[in-house]
Structure 1
Amino acid sequence: MPTDRLDLLPAGTAAIPIRCLEPAEWPAFQAGLSPIQRAYAGATGFSPKAGRVCLLPAPDGTLDRVLFGLGDTAAAAHDRLVAGRLVGSLPEGRYRFEPEGGVDLGEATLAWLLSSYRFGRYKAASAQLPSLVASDCINADAILRVARAVAAGRDLVNTPSNDLGPAEIEDAARILAERFGAAIAVTGGDELAREFPLVHAVGAASPRAPRLIDLTWGAPDSPRVTLVGKGVVFDTGGLDIKPSSGMLLMKKDMGGAAAALAAAEMVMGSGLKLRLRLIVPTVENAIAGNAFRPGDVIRARSGLTIEIGNTDAEGRLILADALALADTEQPDLLVDFATLTGAARTALGPDLPAFFTEDDALSLAIEQAGMSAIDPVWRLPLHAPYASLLDSKIADLNNVSGGPFAGAITAALFLRRFAPKTKRHVHFDLYGWNPSTKPGRPEGGEVQTARLVHALLKTLYPAG
């Protein structure tokens, strides 16, 4: 969908008010309603449980006001994006949140916008969605920037692989570069084989040429932050081919690239005082006579030799070359995003990405940013003794451990080998997909951790 379809009406526009209510507020608020409205709320069984909606009529039968239940906001299970339920519950019209009550207007507005996303490239929307008027006490432009960047990333993940290859990932990066005045360089062909041999090897079997995208933005003398995103546009597993069921969602294997692009859009749009670098290796892991094979040994950009234990562990290979490039300038902060392991999903489920870092202070800042942005994550350990599981008898290391244990940790340890000079490095192992619709999280592609990273960088490097 065009991201400008996510919009807010100007503050002050006439609209139907929405009153968000916590259970403790309900008795007093109910007593203040007109007798007809009080009777109507009772007849419909409304109570301010999370997600409950009541459409209160005016005396002439028109819609006078909306009541919306927040539930117990003190409860651990409270969903701060619950206001997103309104998008699918209200008839077409113009609405505004009343500032009274326990609602955070910024969070409610973000929830509304995130829930309003629809992927409409191949199927027309079934109904017109309700519109929201911006509150005059929120930074509407900042919230819109975030929501639109998320929508652009979701569009990339949702687009099927026949319409989204490495060239289309490059196009998305070039659009961002032009929009924000960033420099961009793309390496492909014979130069890719020389400079980034792992990226070339993984993508060689596809008729859609692999490439590495390198975007830079901001003043050269500002703190350096580098984002790296895994851009595997489709993953067959290579010669270690996946079963059919394992390929059904493999269009989302470029979810790390989408998250990195979305985070970069938020950062540049916010004008943060940093020098941003965005590196995206993008390939299709296909099968042909020139596909890389189990047992091959490939020398990475860093000089390390890697024995291929499994061609279905291709994401860490392309990231290895990208991280080696990033490491040459030792950025102040290096962040990589990847839909990397099923082990992380087994441990934490689809909603909670794993992250890895050796920096305890950075870990705390990441957790706080995740809470602030409603983009939660969970830290897993970089348990150094497990690095021996990646030993190879004929090369510097293997790309897999070959065993059933600690798959997410060994993948993170593998990546860490390729950025040894960069001390502040965080690796996000994300799912990149909402299996079912929840408030603010429609079913389909998701750019997990993008909002978190934006919130983190706003704290570390605020705009001037």
Structure 2
Amino acid sequence: MKLSFAEDSAEALPLTLLEPGDLPGWLEAQDASTRAWVEASSFAGTLGQALVIPGEGGAPAAALAGYGTQAQRRRGRFALAAAVPALGSARYRIADGLPPEQAEEEALGWLLAGYAFDRYKAQSPAKARLVAPAGIDASRVEVMANAEALTRELINTPAADMGPDALEAAARALAAEFGAQCDVTVGDALLEGNFPMIHTVGRAASQAPRLIDMCWGQSGPQLVLVGKGVCFDTGGLNLKPGASMGLMKKDMGGAANVLGLAHMIMSLELPLRLRVLIPAVENAIDGNAFRPQDILTSRKGLTVEINNTDAEGRLVLADALALADESTPDLIISMATLTGAARVAVGPDLAPFFSTRPDHADALRQAATKAADPVWELPFWEPYEPMIEPGIADLDNAPSGGQAGALTAALFLRRFVDNAPYVHFDIYGWQPTAAPARPKGGAMQGVRAILTALPEMLKL
């Protein structure tokens, strides 16, 4: 599915955005026929409303979209996208009512509203298309929209069709599209390559565990993206209850998000060296599944006591982070659907992150506002370090007590990064209820904020 702006032409209908209080003044400037049509409708300028206005002979001549109040727009994003479903399948150009500072956000929202997951069932008919508003970088907006569509598609695909082998295929396809190098270490070769925890977590599954390693770019600072690629998580021997297992196809959401970010970086040809590391596994149950109380030795040499096999994401990320750190890159960013605690703390809409550098955190906060991609900083709180130290091993993968779960997971991961600035995102990767430009299903979170912040973080 390609998301793109429409070409401007005479067929593009002029679309006016109206707040509720602006409608009376707008009507006064219209001819009698238009006034009668609008007054006979229920259109009031409320958020999500749309009205197509006929011209001579009854053919559509123009349209109105409700833009809601400023208070309504502050409570959400992509206000214009709320009206897209009511605009049919015509082509539109915005004639009036769009604040210039909101043009990019609303244009992106319109494109994202055109996404539908239709791999298994035909979805809604063709949606309204938009001519790119004046003053925006249309190509950049299209890149962001299509990268987000890729991320959504990967997360939405069930594990039967998105296991470690399919996730590898998706990474290889992306690498081929942009001329990147993609190397994959599979199965027992993980032991030979010193990725013991990736192997341990994934060895009980029908598809072999693997580490995907994609590189692109020849010059500039080095950025390493590490994405959790647990294609399905049963919880292992600490088996999840059915209600908790129902959404576990999305447990590779971190991998999907870093692939979406990589798509953006390579499409926009940012002047950097990019490396993407994805430990791709399925946490399954078999006779060789790892067990509670096992003690694993990581790539870095740190030992880890397993107190819950359902805390597997941090194990596979740890080996990948250790590899990333060995090259002393300029920045490491990990993304993972890691803890339920993060969702309890900030809900599904915010992307919580941790940063070892305050200036990087500041850059992300500022970029998030600009990119309409909300994030929230949580701390690497060092007084909690003893909580991840079990006594008979260097680290505990699941501290008892149930408190500060997102923070202890982040502290665990930080133990594997010594040589580079580090940012960790503990995302949800899922839109639980439909919202403007965001259908229920797989979600990209924090990626546009990262993209917008990278020039500052890496001094590009």
State the alpha-carbon separation in 2 of the partners of residues 419 and 461 from structure 1.
18
Which residue of 221, 230, 233 corresponds with 1:235?
233
Contact kept in structure 2, 1:184 and 1:213, CA below 8 Å: yes
Contact kept in structure 1, 2:330 and 2:458, CA below 8 Å: no
Name the counterpart of 2:340: 342
Instruction: Report whether the alignment pairs 1:393 with 2:424.
Output: no
Instruction: Report whether the alignment pairs 1:93 with 2:90.
Output: yes
1:462 Cα deviation from its structure 2 partner: 8.1
Instruction: Report whether the alignment pairs 1:201 with 2:200.
Output: yes
Q: Secondary structure at the match of 2:310?
A: coil
Instruction: Report whether the alignment pairs 1:45 with 2:45.
Output: no
Which residue of 39, 49, 52 corresponds with 1:55?
52
1:36 counterpart letter in structure 2: S
Relative to the length of structure 2, the TM-score reads 0.96
Q: Residues 234-254 of structure 1, C-alpha deviation per residue, up to 9 Å, x if partnerless?
A: 000000000011111000000
Contact kept in structure 1, 2:49 and 2:86, CA below 8 Å: no
Name the counterpart of 1:179: 177
Name the counterpart of 2:74: 77
More off after superposition, 100-109 vs 448-457: 100-109
Q: Residues 354-373 of structure 1, C-alpha deviation per residue, up to 9 Å, x if partnerless?
A: 11113111111011111111
**Unaligned residue ranges in structure 1 (runs of 5+):** none
State the alpha-carbon separation in 2 of the partners of residues 55 and 458 from structure 1.
42
Q: Secondary structure at the match of 1:276?
A: strand
Specify whether residues 199 and 446 from structure 1 end up closer, same or farther in structure 2 by C-alpha distance, changes over 3 A only: same
Contact kept in structure 1, 2:92 and 2:130, CA below 8 Å: yes
Name the counterpart of 2:210: 211
1:192 Cα deviation from its structure 2 partner: 0.3
Instruction: Report whether the alignment pairs 1:30 with 2:27.
Output: yes
Contact kept in structure 2, 1:40 and 1:56, CA below 8 Å: yes
State the alpha-carbon separation in 1 of the partners of residues 360 and 433 from structure 2.
31
Specify whether residues 39 and 459 from structure 1 end up closer, same or farther in structure 2 by C-alpha distance, changes over 3 A only: farther
Name the counterpart of 1:373: 371
2:154 counterpart letter in structure 1: L
More off after superposition, 232-241 vs 172-181: 172-181
Q: Secondary structure at the match of 1:20?
A: strand
Contact kept in structure 1, 2:226 and 2:335, CA below 8 Å: yes
Specify whether residues 427 and 101 from structure 1 end up closer, same or farther in structure 2 by C-alpha distance, changes over 3 A only: closer
Q: Residues 234-276 of structure 1, C-alpha deviation per residue, up to 9 Å, x if partnerless?
A: 0000000000111110000000000000000000100101111
Name the counterpart of 2:443: 446
Aligned length, in residue pairs: 458
State the alpha-carbon separation in 2 of the partners of residues 321 and 358 from structure 1.
19
User: Within 5 Å, which residues of 2 pair with 1:137-152?
Assistant: 137-152=135-150
State the alpha-carbon separation in 2 of the partners of residues 79 and 114 from structure 1.
15
Contact kept in structure 2, 1:205 and 1:285, CA below 8 Å: yes
2:64 counterpart letter in structure 1: L
User: Within 5 Å, which residues of 2 pair with 1:253-402?
Assistant: 253-402=251-400
Q: Residues 387-415 of structure 1, C-alpha deviation per residue, up to 9 Å, x if partnerless?
A: 11111121111101111210000000000
State the alpha-carbon separation in 2 of the partners of residues 21 and 100 from structure 1.
6
Q: Residues 425-449 of structure 1, C-alpha deviation per residue, up to 9 Å, x if partnerless?
A: 1110000000111011111001211
2:406 counterpart letter in structure 1: A
More off after superposition, 316-325 vs 449-458: 449-458
Relative to the length of structure 1, the TM-score reads 0.95
Q: Secondary structure at the match of 2:231?
A: strand
Contact kept in structure 2, 1:353 and 1:431, CA below 8 Å: yes
State the alpha-carbon separation in 1 of the partners of residues 223 and 347 from structure 2.
29
1:136 Cα deviation from its structure 2 partner: 4.7
Q: Secondary structure at the match of 1:98?
A: strand
Contact kept in structure 2, 1:20 and 1:102, CA below 8 Å: no
**Unaligned residue ranges in structure 2 (runs of 5+):** none
1:71 Cα deviation from its structure 2 partner: 2.0
Contact kept in structure 1, 2:329 and 2:419, CA below 8 Å: no
Which residue of 245, 248, 254 corresponds with 1:247?
245
State the alpha-carbon separation in 1 of the partners of residues 263 and 226 from structure 2.
14
Runs of 4+ aligned residues of structure 1 deviating over 6 Å after TM superposition are none
More off after superposition, 60-69 vs 386-395: 60-69
Contact kept in structure 2, 1:11 and 1:136, CA below 8 Å: no
State the alpha-carbon separation in 2 of the partners of residues 439 and 100 from structure 1.
18
Q: Secondary structure at the match of 2:353?
A: strand
Contact kept in structure 2, 1:225 and 1:333, CA below 8 Å: yes
Identity across matched positions, percent: 47
